[in-house]
């Protein structure tokens, strides 16, 4: 083909592509295809051609068998040696002549020929066969059958899910890994399914988790516009991460680690090898760069909680079931706060003495377990936040950096002689102030017994003021107690962490809807979900923090 011919061909190709893609031509093509007479004629032609093929099928088989036999004979003739061809030809001709001279020999030869070409001409294609292995077919069909009660709809013309249906009626894509584990599944469902309701979604997700395996963690991507559901089985998060110095900015706090695709960066993290204990903590920062035996450095994705004055998400709500790792998460955050010289007050309503090691430590305002003292500390914190909120604009206008921060009298009374002056001299500038309220419902119950107002109202007002006062509020409670929490307070705690399994109602209150993540039936301590502000809900593994002393961070 000459250059001019190639150019012309390319020109005509481009012209045809442009015409076929233009809206008028596309509409004309669609109207012709959907014209009743054309559609009827096309259907009649297709039916007539199918009948012709059915009538001529024996002849087609014979012709196809003869062609295949001739092809195989030609291949043998080309590949065999001359002596072998002569010998086998003589033997075959002798047999044919010997049979042909018999009384019914010609009929036997004709029958043998027809049988041979019929066998060779049979349809060897596996049009109706499933290319998947029997094990995969059984697993996919079991998942399909488990979803039928939840996704079946008699009004659906496509009937994606129906009793006795095949998994290929609904599943459009799936993937197995090297260990023969299902790691991805995509399906179509009826447009009449209520995919916008949390309860309907939750039932389907729980059915999938039961059929695929409760030991896995899932990511659900609901496409409500296209009526598709994409399910991914997520790899496990690393569990051998303990509290350690994190290479982040001063206004950033690490809540834990997550999937690499859910974070904007990776940081080096000290990870324990299987069977290793907690790493030894050294006071000398230079020795921290050395990797202790039984540990290794890994690049992991951190969950960053970024604070500032004023910050968009200055307060944290931590919910979790018993033994889900709430205390470990609080200790990890406490260690980071104290290591940066921030002031801390802790209300331990459970009276477990797990924060007793903080008493008397540098920058620790107060650790209280008594309900009356806790309410007094809460009142003082509210006044301090109000003072800071009023002082910040004036100090900014004057350029005054001096501190008017005063430690509460309870701290001075509990501290040794001279400790108050050390505290004042240790804080030349006003430090950020943190309040940790562990198990808020117990504090509310204690306030009701003492005839005091509900602390949730005080905390809600405090959270609004603290946004502009450099103060941070951290509240913990059980997951089943989220429903009893007042919306005025819950709406102020915009950074939310849920450890362990989360029911649909609590998930809606915490994250604004059902989780697009599904957890394993038994989740390790510290495993859960987090949402910072209006961001997406992502997986979280909090670090293990056994010690509370600031020097151990």
Do the annotations mark residue 326 as ligand-binding? yes
Residues of the chain with CATH 3.30.980: 134-234
Hey, which residues does 364 pair with through a beta bridge?
344
Is the Cβ–Cβ distance between 274 and 296 less than 8 Å? no
Token code pair at residue 288: 């921290």
- Rounded-to-integer distance, Cα 454 and Cα 444, Å: 6
Q: What's the confidence (pLDDT) of residue 230?
A: 92
Q: What's the confidence (pLDDT) of residue 101?
A: 86
Hey, which residues does 53 pair with through a beta bridge?
none
- Per DSSP (E only), the strands in 277-416 are 295-306, 316-320, 343-348, 364-368
**SS3 call for 249:** coil
Token code pair at residue 63: 């012709």
CA distances 312 to 468, 492, 495, Å, are 10, 10, 10
Do the annotations mark residue 325 as ligand-binding? yes
CA distances 141 to 82, 134, 136, 174, Å, are 56, 10, 8, 12
Do the annotations mark residue 429 as ligand-binding? no
Nearest to residue 400, comparing CAs of 429, 421, 425, 431? 429
Prediction pTM value: 0.66
Do the annotations mark residue 321 as ligand-binding? yes
Is-cis flag, bond preceding 310, omega within 30? yes
Supply the DSSP symbol for 439. Answer: S
- Rounded-to-integer distance, Cα 371 and Cα 236, Å: 41
- Rounded-to-integer distance, Cα 484 and Cα 509, Å: 10
Q: Which CATH number fits domain 134-234: 3.30.980, 3.30.1490, 3.30.70, 3.30.40?
A: 3.30.980
pLDDT (tens, 9 = 90+) of the chain, 553 residues, equals 444 444 445 666 667 666 666 777 667 766 666 667 777 777 788 888 888 878 888 888 888 889 888 988 888 888 888 888 888 888 988 998 888 888 888 888 888 888 888 888 887 765 556 678 889 999 999 999 999 999 998 888 888 899 989 999 999 999 998 888 898 999 999 988 988 888 888 899 889 988 888 777 888 888 888 899 999 888 888 888 888 899 999 889 999 999 888 888 999 998 887 655 555 444 344 444 577 777 788 899 999 999 876 678 889 999 998 888 888 999 999 999 999 989 999 998 877 777 877 877 888 888 888 888 888 988 888 888 888 877 765 544 444 444 444 545 444 444 433 344 443 443 345 788 999 999 899 989 988 898 888 889 889 988 888 777 788 999 999 998 999 899 999 999 999 999 988 888 888 889 887 777 776 667 888 899 999 988 888 999 999 887 654 444 4
- Rounded-to-integer distance, Cα 115 and Cα 36, Å: 46
Is the Cβ–Cβ distance between 339 and 420 less than 8 Å? no
Q: What's the confidence (pLDDT) of residue 429?
A: 59
Residues of the chain with CATH 3.40.50.300: 308-552
Do the annotations mark residue 322 as ligand-binding? yes
- Rounded-to-integer distance, Cα 242 and Cα 482, Å: 28
- Per DSSP (E only), the strands in 363-479 are 364-368, 433-438, 471-477
Do the annotations mark residue 324 as ligand-binding? yes
Nearest to residue 195, comparing CAs of 222, 155, 168? 222
What topology is assigned to 308-552 in CATH? Answer: Rossmann fold (3.40.50)
Q: Got the DSSP string for 168-207?
A: GGTEEEEEE-TTS-EEEEEEE--TTS-TTSHHHHHHHHHH
């Amino acid at each position: 083909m000459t250059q001019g011919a190639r150019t012309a061909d390319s020109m005509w190709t481009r012209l045809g592509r442009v015409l076929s893609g233009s809206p008028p031509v596309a509409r004309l093509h669609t109207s012709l295809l959907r014209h009743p007479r054309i559609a009827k004629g096309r259907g009649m032609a297709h039916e007539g051609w199918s009948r012709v093929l059915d009538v001529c099928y024996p002849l087609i088989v014979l012709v196809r068998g003869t062609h295949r036999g001739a092809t195989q004979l030609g291949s043998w003739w080309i590949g065999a040696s001359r002596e072998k061809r002569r010998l086998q030809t003589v033997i075959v001709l002798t047999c044919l002549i010997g049979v042909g001279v018999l009384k019914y020999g010609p009929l036997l030869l004709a029958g043998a020929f027809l049988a041979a070409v019929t066998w060779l001409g049979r349809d060897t294609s596996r049009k109706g066969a499933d290319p998947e292995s029997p094990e995969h077919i059984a697993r996919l069909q079991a998942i399909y059958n488990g979803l039928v009660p939840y996704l079946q709809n008699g009004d659906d013309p496509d009937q994606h899910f129906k009793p006795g249906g095949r998994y290929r009626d609904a599943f459009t894509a799936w993937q197995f890994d090297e260990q023969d584990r299902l790691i991805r599944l995509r399906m179509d469902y009826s447009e009449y399914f209520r995919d916008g309701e949390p309860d309907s979604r939750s039932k389907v997700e729980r059915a999938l988790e039961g059929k695929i395996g409760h030991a896995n963690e899932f990511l659900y991507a609901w496409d409500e516009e296209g009526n598709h559901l994409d399910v991914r089985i997520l790899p496990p998060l690393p569990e051998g991460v303990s509290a350690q110095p994190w290479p982040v900015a001063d206004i950033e706090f690490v809540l834990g680690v997550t999937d690499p695709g859910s974070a904007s960066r990776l940081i080096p993290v000290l990870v324990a090898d299987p069977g290793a204990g907690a790493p030894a903590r050294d006071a000398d920062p230079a020795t921290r760069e050395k990797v202790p035996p039984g540990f290794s450095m890994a690049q992991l994705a951190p969950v960053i909680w970024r604070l500032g004055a004023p910050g968009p998400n200055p307060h944290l709500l931590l919910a979790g079931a018993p033994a889900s790792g709430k205390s470990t998460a609080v200790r990890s955050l406490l260690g980071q706060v104290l290591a940066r010289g921030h002031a801390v007050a802790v209300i331990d309503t459970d009276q477990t003495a797990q924060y007793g090691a903080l008493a008397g430590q540098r920058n620790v305002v107060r650790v209280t377990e008594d309900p009356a003292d806790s309410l007094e500390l809460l009142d003082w914190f509210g006044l301090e936040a109000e003072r800071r909120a009023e002082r910040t604009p004036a100090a900014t206008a004057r350029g005054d950096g001096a501190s008017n921060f005063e430690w509460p009298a309870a701290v001075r009374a509990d501290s040794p002689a001279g400790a108050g002056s050390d505290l004042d001299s240790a804080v030349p500038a006003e430090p950020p102030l943190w309040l940790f309220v562990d198990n808020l419902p117990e504090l509310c119950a204690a306030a009701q017994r003492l005839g005091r107002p509900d602390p949730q109202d005080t905390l809600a007002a405090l959270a609004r003021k603290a946004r502009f006062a450099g103060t941070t509020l951290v509240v913990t409670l059980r997951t089943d107690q989220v429903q009893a929490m007042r919306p005025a307070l819950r709406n102020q705690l915009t950074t939310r962490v849920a450890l362990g399994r989360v029911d649909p109602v609590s998930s809606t209150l915490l994250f604004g809807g059902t989780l697009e993540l599904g957890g394993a039936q038994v989740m390790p301590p510290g495993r859960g979900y987090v949402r910072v502000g209006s961001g997406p809900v992502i997986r979280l593994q909090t670090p293990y923090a056994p010690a509370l002393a600031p020097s151990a961070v």
